[in-house]
Structure 1
Amino acid sequence: MSFGDPKNPYGQQQGGQPQQGGQPGYGYPPQGQPQGQPGYGYPQAPPVQPYGDGGWGGPPTTMPGGVTAARVMLYVIAGFQVIGAALMFLSAAAIDKAKEDPKLRDDLQFEDLADFSTSSVYGIGVLALLWGAVAIFLAIKFAKGGNGIRIATMVFAIITAILGIYPFVVVGLVHTVLAILIAVFVAKSDGGAWFNRPRH
């Protein structure tokens, strides 16, 4: 009967009994050490903390992807506002010019359009420009702004989403989608960590 190689630590020991005392067998904790205590394997790591207070990463040093995307979307909204304002100004100018045309004065459809005040069309264009300027201001402040910029951006996004639904339903659909995404990205935890980070 063979008991295997006596020099092989993985083979069955002579005598057919496990080792007692001394060096423990393979895969077993040393005798006398209670179970549940780290002995073999990897050492235990400290608990992971997401940001600050001595966590592994500390406060974010670069703008998170969601916040960067929200910033780009603010610039896109500003671009749409400039285009919308330009269209309003051109429409108002076209209405003013058409009012002077004697051929159109007898046209009933044009009379309905001419009744619409051109000053109100210009006013909508100015409001569109101002709304775009607010979007640009917020986007610029993302780099160094604090929690106030975060809150202002969320308020801006909510109002933009509502205005996109009513009264500018078809034109404002893109605005609504962008505004909802901006609010979500800024409100997320990484957005909060970015805007609440310590400034030196």
Structure 2
Amino acid sequence: MSFGDPNNPYGQQQGQQPGYGYPQQAPQGVPPQQGYGYPAAPAYGGYPAGPTEMPGGLKAARVMLFVIGGLQVIGAIFAALAAVGVSAAKNDPALKDDVQFQQVADWSAGAVWAVALLILAWGVLSIVLGAKFGSGGNGVRVTAIVFGVITAVLGIYPFVVVGLAHTVMAILVVVFAAKSDGAAWFNRQRQQF
């Protein structure tokens, strides 16, 4: 069998199989290429692997949820102290004629305690959401977005320094949780043990 002129760049070279001059196997260390129109094979378990480390935006959102939770716990403590103070001051004869105090005293101590418990529950929800960012699914992401929107709206109403801090942090939680890298993190494949 003759291989033709060895100086002809268009002729068949020695040691090559027919195939338009291209090698049939990939060189060492190069992964084989997929055919046209065929998707890459999924990772082990049949699903794409997804990110292995929490994105920076979600880490920041997690910290903000913990800070919001801490501020809520502090607010619940102040509300509880206010409930105790109003209950104790209702019986003070010197405050019976004070009009401004009587407006506050018209609230029942039970209503002030209910507000304190509501503030505390909102803080606990914030801390639980932050804790679930590492292992939670898409439901945690959606809950964090809804939590952030409600917190931002509630933070606008009184618009004091604490309300402004709540509003800004809640908006950032919504933005970071709604981004595509946040969605990829919460929709990632988790290992089953």
SS in 1 for 2:141: helix
Q: Which residue of 2 aligns with 1:157?
A: 148
Q: Residues 146-194 of structure 1: CA distance to partner in whole angstroms, max 9, x if unpaired?
A: 111111110111111111112x321421111100000001111111111
Q: Which residue of 2 aligns with 1:50?
A: none
What aligned pairs does 1:11-90 form with structure 2 within 5 A after superposition? 59-90=50-81
Q: Which residue of 2 aligns with 1:123?
A: 114
Q: Which residue of 2 aligns with 1:42?
A: none
Q: Radius of gyration: which is bigger?
A: 1
Question: Which residue identity is paired with 1:105?
Answer: K
Question: Residues of 2 paired with 1:146 and 1:193: CA distance?
Answer: 10
Q: Which residue of 2 aligns with 1:169?
A: 159
Instruction: Note the C-alpha offset of 1:109.
Output: 2.3
Percent identity of equivalent pairs: 54
TM normalised by structure 1 equals 0.69
Matched, 1:92 2:83: yes
Question: Residues of 1 paired with 2:56 and 2:41: CA distance?
Answer: 23
Instruction: Note the C-alpha offset of 1:112.
Output: 1.9
Q: Which residue of 2 aligns with 1:144?
A: 135
Q: Which residue of 2 aligns with 1:10?
A: none
Q: Which residue of 1 aligns with 2:15?
A: none
Question: Residues of 1 paired with 2:120 and 2:55: CA distance?
Answer: 29
CA gap of 1:73–1:93, structure 2 versus 1, over 3 A, is same
Question: Residues of 1 paired with 2:66 and 2:41: CA distance?
Answer: 36
Relative contact order higher in (CA < 8 Å, ≥ 6 apart): 2
Question: Residues of 1 paired with 2:175 and 2:75: CA distance?
Answer: 25
Question: Which residue identity is paired with 2:146?
Answer: V
Structure 2 portions without partners, runs of 5+:
1-7, 10-32, 34-39, 43-48
Q: Residues 120-170 of structure 1: CA distance to partner in whole angstroms, max 9, x if unpaired?
A: 11111000111111111111111111111111110111111111112x321
Matched, 1:113 2:104: yes
Q: Residues 87-111 of structure 1: CA distance to partner in whole angstroms, max 9, x if unpaired?
A: 0010111111111111111222222
Q: Which residue of 2 aligns with 1:182?
A: 173
Question: Residues of 1 paired with 2:102 and 2:57: CA distance?
Answer: 49
Number of equivalent positions: 150
SS in 2 for 1:144: coil
TM normalised by structure 2 equals 0.71
Instruction: Note the C-alpha offset of 1:54.
Output: 6.7
Question: Which residue identity is paired with 1:160?
Answer: T
Q: Residues 36-61 of structure 1: CA distance to partner in whole angstroms, max 9, x if unpaired?
A: xxxxxxxxxx9xxxxxx679xx6211
Q: Which residue of 2 aligns with 1:104?
A: 95
